[in-house]
Amino acid sequence: MRYMLIMRSTPEAEAASKDIPFDEVLTAMGRYNDELIRAGVMLYGEGLAPPEDGGFVVDFNADPPAVTDGPYGEATTLFNGFWMLEVSSRDEAAEWARKCPLGPGVKLEVRRVPSIEEFPQDNEYVQKEKAWRDEHEPPLGQKNVVV
């Protein structure tokens, strides 16, 4: 089973993190990532640049959809990074999520990622995506890990 862990922060957590040396944060996250990798559950993960660093919003309430530099809405709707894990169960995903070195004011949203086999197999686009994945994804047991 694949699960995505989505890191969400509040303004209070952002303010508190300014007092922690970046190297300390980087080391804690590095240790966590290393533990995920050694356990063989991390498929990939990324931190995200702040919204003001090239981020934008596509608003589909307009026709055609409007692209703007923000605002993003409430700070609690932003997410700062993610991990994609392959684990045996929901409980194992929750166990790894609880180990993440995040502080007060930060939440991890954990969502299951359905496999392509869970979609209607007679759909033309499901078939095309399966063919693309077969051509581009690493063989089973080999994982793409970005740290």
At 76 the pLDDT is: 55
| Residues 64, 70, 74: CA angle, nearest 5 degrees | 120
Of the candidates 85, 98, 101, 86, the one whose C-alpha atom is nearest the C-alpha of residue 13 is: 101
DSSP state of 21: -
Domains annotated for the chain, with CATH where assigned, are 2-49+75-136 (3.30.70.1060)
At 52 the pLDDT is: 79
What's the rounded mean pLDDT across residues 103-119?
89
At 9 the pLDDT is: 81
Going from the C-alpha of 10 to that of each of 1, 3, 15, 76, 103, the distances in angstroms are: 29, 23, 9, 5, 11
Which tens digit of pLDDT belongs to each residue from 7-54?
988 778 878 888 889 899 889 999 999 999 999 999 999 988 877 788
What's the token pair of residue 19? 């007092």
